Structure 1
Amino acid sequence: MEDVDIAPIATSAAAVVQLDEEAESTLDEPISVTLKRDLLMVFEKFFMVLIPRLNNKRILHDWDLWGPLILCVTLAMMLRDTARDDQKSLVFSGVFVIVWCGAAVVTLNSKLLGGTLSFFQSVCVLGYCLLPLVAGTLIIRTLALMSLASVPVRSVVVLLGLAWALFASMGFLGDSQPVNRKALAVYPMFLFYFVISWLIFVQPVSD
C-alpha cells in the first residue's frame, strides 16, 4: 500500500482554520477598530498612488471602492460649488456618471482586450488614481482665492494631474494587458482622465 503524503492536506486544513479564526475575530471586534483598519487601508492606497512603484501590486489584491467613492464625492462637491446655481445639481450628478460609467467602460474594454484583472480590481485602481486630479482641483481653488488661478497656471496644474494619474494607473494596470494590445487599452484610459481633467480646467475660478 502506497504511503499518502498528508503534509499538503494538513497545510490546507491549517489554512482553513486560520481563515475561520480571522473571520471570527473580525466579526467580534468593535466597529471603531474595523473603521480604523479600513481607513488606514484607504490612506495606504492613497500613498501608493502619490508615490507609485511599478512593483507595488497590493492595491490589486486588496481592492475596495471606499477610496474611489471618497474621491468622486470630493471632486463632485468641489466642481458643484463653483458651478452656477442652476447647474449645481447637474454638475454633481454629471461627475458621478462620468467617473463610474467611464471607469466601467474602460474596464470592459480592458477585459475584451484580454486583461487579466477582475472588474472591481480595475475600477478600484482607476478610482484611486483620480487622487492627483482631485488634488489639482483643490490647488486651483486655493489659488483662485488668491486671484492666482490664471489660464496658464490652471493648464500646468491640470496637465500635471493628468500625467500623474496616467502614470500611476499604468504602473498598476500595465502588466495586466497583452503587450500587443496595450496601446488599445491605454487610449480609453487616457480619454477617461482627459475628460475629467477638462471638467476641472473649465470650472469657474470663483463662486
Structure 2
Amino acid sequence: MDYPGTGVKQPEVSIDLNGFYSSNFEQFEHPDQSSNAPNSGSISSPTGQISAQAYRRTNAGAAGKFMENSGFGWLLEVNEEDSDQIPLLEELDIDLTDIYYKIRCVLLPLPYFRMKLNIVRESPDFWGPLAVVLAFAILSLYGQFGVVSWIITIWFCGGFMVYFIARALGGDVGYSQVLGIVGYCLIPLVVTSLITPLFSSFRLLSNGLGMFGTIWSVYSAGTLLCVDELQAKKPLVVYPVFLLYIYFYSLYSGV
C-alpha cells in the first residue's frame, strides 16, 4: 500500500484470529536467530492431556456423578502414590530366625555347643518370650484360659523381682532383658510338660522329669543372666530364679 505524497511502500497488514502479524514474507522466512523472545500473538495449543482425577470423574458413571454433585466426591479419590506395604512380622518387630536361635541358646546352654548365649541378653524381644509363656500356661491349665492372665502376671512380677535383685547386686541388666530371659527359659519346662503325660502312670518318673526341666530352666537362666559383674554373686541371683521356676512348675503339677 502506498501513502500519497510519500513514495514509500509499506508492508501490508492482515488480521488473523491470533493477532496482528506482518506479511513481509522475507522477514518471516528468515527470522532473527539471535532473538529468543516468543511471538506475542501466539497461543499455545492444548497438549490433549487431562489429569487422572478428571478422567476418573468423567468415567465415574451416574452414581459417581451423583456423589460428585452431592459433595461426596472425595470418597472416589484414590491415592496414586505407591506406598510400600510393610510385612506384618516386620511391622510387629518379629524375627522368627532370631527367636529360633534364642530358643536353641536356651535349650543348649552348655559351652560345648558354642552358642552365642549373650545374644539372648543383649538383644531382648517381647513376642518370643510371650509365646513361650502362653504355651506353658496352656499346657499347665488344660483349657482353663481364665487363669492364663495369672501366669502372665507371675512372669511380669517375677521378672521384676529378679531384675531388682540383679540391679541391687550391681548387675548391668535391664528389665526387658530379664523379662526375655525368664520367658525364654521356660522352654525346658514346656518340653518336659509335653513328655510328662506319657509317664503319668509312673508318678515318680514324671516328677523326676518335672524337676529335671526346672533345673534345666534355672541353669539356662542363671547362665544368661549372670554377666561379668554378677559372676562372683551368681548363687544370690540363681536362688530367686530357682524359686520362680519352682512356682511355675507347681502351677503345672498342681502341687
* TM-score w.r.t. length of structure 1: 0.71
**Which residue of 73, 78, 91 maps to 2:134?**
73
Q: Look up the match of 2:96.
A: 39
Following TM superposition, by how much is the alpha carbon of 1:132 offset from its aligned partner in structure 2, in angstroms? Answer: 0.2
- Distance (Å, rounded) in 1 between the aligned partners of 2:97 and 2:230: 33
Task: Please identify runs of 4+ aligned residues in structure 1 that moved more than 6 A.
Answer: none
Change (3 A) 1:149 1:109: farther
Are residue 137 (structure 1) and residue 193 (structure 2) matched?
yes
User: 2:124 pairs with 63, 70, 75, which one?
Assistant: 63
**Cα shift at 1:138:** 1.6
Q: Report if aligned partners of 1:46, 1:128 keep a CA contact under 8 Å in 2.
A: yes
**Corresponding residue of 1:196:** 248
Cα distance in 2 for residues equivalent to 1:179 and 1:115: 9
SS of 2:167 mapped into structure 1: helix
Given the superposition, is the C-alpha separation of residues 177 and 149 from structure 1 closer, same or farther in structure 2, using an over 3 Å criterion? Answer: farther
Partner of 1:186: 238
Question: How far off its partner does 1:89 sit?
Answer: 4.8
8 Å CA contact 1:79–1:91 kept in 2: the answer is: no
> Which residue in 1 is equivalent to 2:158?
102
| Structure whose CA Rg is larger | 2
1:32 to partner: Cα distance:
5.7
Question: Any unmatched runs of 5+ in structure 2?
Answer: 1-83
Q: Note if contact 1:113-1:181 (Cα within 8 Å) is conserved in structure 2.
A: yes
- Between the aligned partners of 1:179 and 1:36, the Cα distance in structure 2 is 32
**How many residues end up aligned between the 2 structures?**
168
Runs of 5+ consecutive residues of structure 1 not aligned to the other structure: 1-27, 83-87
Between structures 1 and 2, the one with greater helix share: 1
Q: What SS does the corresponding residue of 1:115 show, helix, strand or coil?
A: coil
How far does residue 124 in structure 1 lie from its aligned partner after superposition? 0.9
What is the SS of the residue equivalent to 2:171? coil
- Structure number with higher relative contact order (C-alpha < 8 Å, ≥ 6 residues apart): 1
Compared with structure 1, are the counterparts of its residues 178 and 52 closer, same or farther at alpha carbon in structure 2 (3 Å cutoff)? closer
What amino acid sits opposite 2:211 in the alignment? L
* Contact preservation (8 Å) 2:128, 2:184: yes
Give the TM-score normalised by the residue count of structure 2: 0.58
The RMSD of aligned alpha carbons is 2.6
Supply the AA of the counterpart residue of 1:123. L
Code of the residue aligned with 2:240 in structure 1: it is: P
Q: Residues 66-106 of structure 1, C-alpha deviation per residue, up to 9 Å, x if partnerless?
A: 11100111111222226xxxxx3553232222222111111
Return the alpha-carbon distance in structure 1 between the equivalents of residues 229 and 160 of structure 2.
16
